[in-house]
Amino acid sequence: MWQLADKKISSRLLIGSALYPSPDLMKKAITASGSEVVTVSLRRQNIASAKANAGEGGNDFWNLLQKLNLNILPNTAGCHSAKEAITTAQMAREVFGTHWIKLEVIGDEYNLQPDPFATLEATKELISQGFEVFPYCTDDLVLCQKLAEAGCNILMPWGSPIGTGKGLLNPYALKNIRERLPNITLIVDAGIGLPSHATQALEMGYDGVLLNTAVAQAADPIKMAEAFKFAILAGRNGFEAGAIKEKNLAKPSTPTIGTPFWHQS
């Protein structure tokens, strides 16, 4: 078990609920992943076709998700200012009944890079309103330090831009954040493509990984969800076990004493 905000949970995988081929596959993949935290969003109700679209969101989706009995992490995806994000967070708190919020304030439309200034501004306000803020941020150390100083218990630096599947583009920066902020819960959010990317994050001491596309858009989402479950377990065990130090010089693992055919020259 580990502590995520005010909850004790087992899995270190946080999973998204978007982009699955069907609601049934979403449900099965989330279950197969073993995740106990699922991300959701708020969107405009399509007034003209609310009933026709019921299967794509709204009450049907929310009822299905509630049956899984998971921790809900609403996001502010699509917000481009602190004001929009704060209002969306307030609306999410009412709809989903949780003070957890995955704060996303996009600064660049092309690579969906979070706006560090607006993210910090919104974080301060939301914390003052009693939210547990999970900020989606870049891997900039100073930004992460400022967010921690603002009162964040959890930080979620990106591995690479959302949906790219490029993995951890800057392991140096991510390791640096881990070393410098040892008491903050750190979760790599976004850019994960392969189970090995998740393993890498956990091996470097990250507390968890948040992903969506890598599972939802895999040819077999259920099998990929299971692959991530084991990859994350492997990475965490590897971290806890204490890895050997990397060396330049080869050192035989088989004993040299008693080597056959050896003789003094």
Residues that bind other proteins (CB under 8 A): 16-20, 26, 39-48, 50-51, 56-59, 61-62, 65, 74-75, 77, 83-84, 87-88, 90-92, 94-96, 162, 212-213
Which amino acid, one-letter code, is at 240? Answer: E
DSSP symbol at 8: E
Nearest distance, CB of residue 242 and other proteins, angstroms: 33
Nearest distance, CB of residue 137 and other proteins, angstroms: 16
Please provide residue 135's backbone torsions phi and psi, each rounded to the nearest 5 degrees: -80, 130
For this structure, is 229 an active site residue?
no
Q: 116 or 191: whose CB is closer to other proteins?
A: 191
CA 186 to chain CA centroid, nearest Å: 9
Q: 51 or 251: whose CB is closer to other proteins?
A: 51
Nearest distance, CB of residue 41 and other proteins, angstroms: 3
Burial classification of residue 30, based on how many CB atoms lie within 10 Å of its CB (0-12 exposed, 13-18 middle, 19 or more buried)? buried
Alpha carbon distance, N-terminus to C-terminus of the chain: 59
Q: 204: closest CA among 229, 227, 228, 170?
A: 170
Using only C-alpha atoms, the chain has a radius of gyration, in whole angstroms, of 21
Q: Under a CB-based contact definition with an 8 Å cutoff, are residues 18 and 216 in contact?
A: yes
DSSP symbol at 16: E
Q: 3 or 95: whose CB is closer to other proteins?
A: 95
Nearest distance, CB of residue 24 and other proteins, angstroms: 14
Q: 57 or 208: whose CB is closer to other proteins?
A: 57
Nearest distance, CB of residue 104 and other proteins, angstroms: 9
Helical ranges in 97-216 per DSSP H: 116-128, 141-149, 171-180, 195-203, 213-216
From 27, 102, 124, 175, active-site residue: 102
Nearest distance, CB of residue 88 and other proteins, angstroms: 8
d(CA 95, CA 89) in angstroms, rounded, equals 10
| Residue in the structure block whose two tokens are 């055919």 | 261
Q: 129 or 237: whose CB is closer to other proteins?
A: 129
* Torsion from C-alpha of 86, 92, 94, 96, nearest 10 degrees: -160
Q: 18 or 233: whose CB is closer to other proteins?
A: 18
Q: Which residues contact 179 (CB under 8 A, 6 or more apart)?
A: none
Please list the active-site residues: 102
